[in-house]
Amino acid sequence: MIHEWQELTRLTGVEPVVVERVRLTDKGISLDGEFELPPLARLSTEDQVFIAAFVRCHGSIKQMEQFFGVSYPTIKNRLNKIGLQLEFVKIEMAPVSNPVLDRLESGEITVEKALDMLRKGEEDE
């Protein structure tokens, strides 16, 4: 059975694709515009299957060797090849405020006092 995404990938190959309409089926909402496919969707069908298998194997190269019947270097080379096709995604976390560390940073308490409070699980006195 061929899924629609496999057919789309087969038709487009490595050519860039722009999606012009997105429809949320459960909501009855459509969005028109120019949307790029996510990086994983731009991979070839074979590479998408490989990545899905890697995730299903919980990143175990040993399991991947058994699943595909190939050697460790073959799996590593394939992962490296795919990795070069993907942009590095930098995730920025919102700063987490900690009252103890805030008080330490402001000079309100000493390092020793902050460590003591953190060990005891205290946030304020």
β-strand pairing of 18-24 with 29-36: antiparallel
In this prediction, residue 54 carries a pLDDT of 96
Res 9: pLDDT: 67
Does residue 10 have a pLDDT over 90?
no
Whole-number Å distance between alpha carbons of 45 and 50: 9
Mean pLDDT in residue range 3-10? 66
Domains of the chain and CATH, by start? 4-85 (1.10.10), 96-125 (no CATH)
> Where does residue 79 rank: exposed (0-12), middle (13-18), buried (19+ CB within 10 A)?
middle
What CA–CA distance (Å, rounded) separates 114 from 101? 7
pTM of the shown model: 0.57
Q: Could you give the CA distance from residue 104 to residue 98 in angstroms, rounded to a whole number? A: 10
Q: Which residues of 90-122 are buried (b: 16+ CB within 10 A; e: fewer)?
A: eeeeeeeeeebeebbeeeebeeeebeebeeeee
pLDDT value of position 43? 87
**What gap in Å lies between CA 83 and CA 17, rounded to an integer?**
20
What is the chain's mean pLDDT, rounded? 85
pLDDT for the residue numbered 119: 87
Calpha distance 63→44 (Å, rounded): 22
pLDDT digits (tens, 9 = 90+) for 62-109: 999 999 999 999 999 999 999 998 887 677 777 778 888 888 889 999
Give the pLDDT confidence score for residue 14 in this predicted structure.
Answer: 65
Confidence band, pLDDT 50/70/90 cuts, at residue 1? low
Percentage of the chain beyond pLDDT 90 is 39
Bridge partners (DSSP) listed for residue 19: 35
